Amino acid sequence: MPMEKPETPVYEQVKAFIRGHISSGRWKPGDPVPSEAALMAQFGVARMTANRALRELAAEGMVTRVQGSGTRVAELHRISSQLTIRDIHEEVVERGHIHTTRVVLVVQEKSSADVAASLGLRTGAPVFHTVLVHLENGIAIQYEDRYVNPAAAPDYLAVDFKQTTPTHHLLAHAPLTEASYSIEACLPTAVEAKALGIKRTEPCLAMMRRTVSGAHVASVARLVYPGTRYSFAGQFQA
């Protein structure tokens, strides 16, 4: 008896709908993309599903998302860079400054549906969760909210994060084989703003980063940088 073909996940159906309109040219660069609410109504899905579809399309470079302005089709010929996974401690020291870390949270917890999907785990599977604030000469420059797959770094929670950064530990104990990232302009959440010592109206840059080590997704992290205190730089040569 032939096996039934597995049904395409709903969020993939939403992505395919948006991708099709962009690829066909029906939606042009800069055009607005349906909001989460509009996608919920059209497809009869939960907000989490609509959010995941838009978030993944943003990571793929198909759309851009700016808090308060909505989602739009990404401009054509965007230059993508090979982002080196660097330790923020090394970055700060290279500038001749002092790096310190404020530890906010270090726990093992049950994964939510979104976190589990990002790490390739079942919902409710145990994950390591850390929240740190990195400072340069006493000024907060990065809010790091990271989830780690215990299979990739079983000793992660034993690390003294005031002495060793998560990036340093993971690069040493879960050698990087693949990484992906997206960077978006955003406004900080109330928790992020308080931790960074900034107003909720201060523009920030948020990097979503996913790293893979061998057969495991090692970690997913949201890194938030105050726009007035940090900048990303790269170089392109034809």
Residue range 107-116, pLDDT digits in tens: 999 999 989 9
pLDDT exceeds 70 at position 153: yes
Q: How far apart are CA 164 and CA 101, in angstroms?
A: 9
Where do the domains of the chain lie? 10-73, 88-226
pLDDT exceeds 90 at position 1: no
Residue range 164-223, pLDDT digits in tens: 999 999 988 888 888 888 888 899 999 999 999 999 999 999 999 999 988 899 999 999
Residue 231 or 28, more confident: 28
Mean pLDDT within 117-122: 92
Q: How far apart are CA 112 and CA 118, in angstroms?
A: 10
What kind of fold does domain 10-73 have according to CATH?
Arc Repressor Mutant, subunit A (1.10.10)
Residue range 49-89, pLDDT digits in tens: 999 999 888 877 778 887 777 898 886 543 334 456 778 99
What kind of fold does domain 88-226 have according to CATH?
Chorismate lyase (3.40.1410)
Whole-number pLDDT of residue 236? 42
Whole-number pLDDT of residue 64? 85
Whole-number pLDDT of residue 80? 39
Mean pLDDT within 20-40: 85
Residue range 2-11, pLDDT digits in tens: 444 456 788 8
Burial of 52 (0-12, 13-18, 19+ CB in 10 A): buried
Asked if residues 73 and 43 have their Cβ atoms less than 8 Å apart, the reply is no
Whole-number pLDDT of residue 232? 59
pTM of the model: 0.65
Whole-number pLDDT of residue 21? 83
Whole-number pLDDT of residue 175? 84
Whole-number pLDDT of residue 63? 85
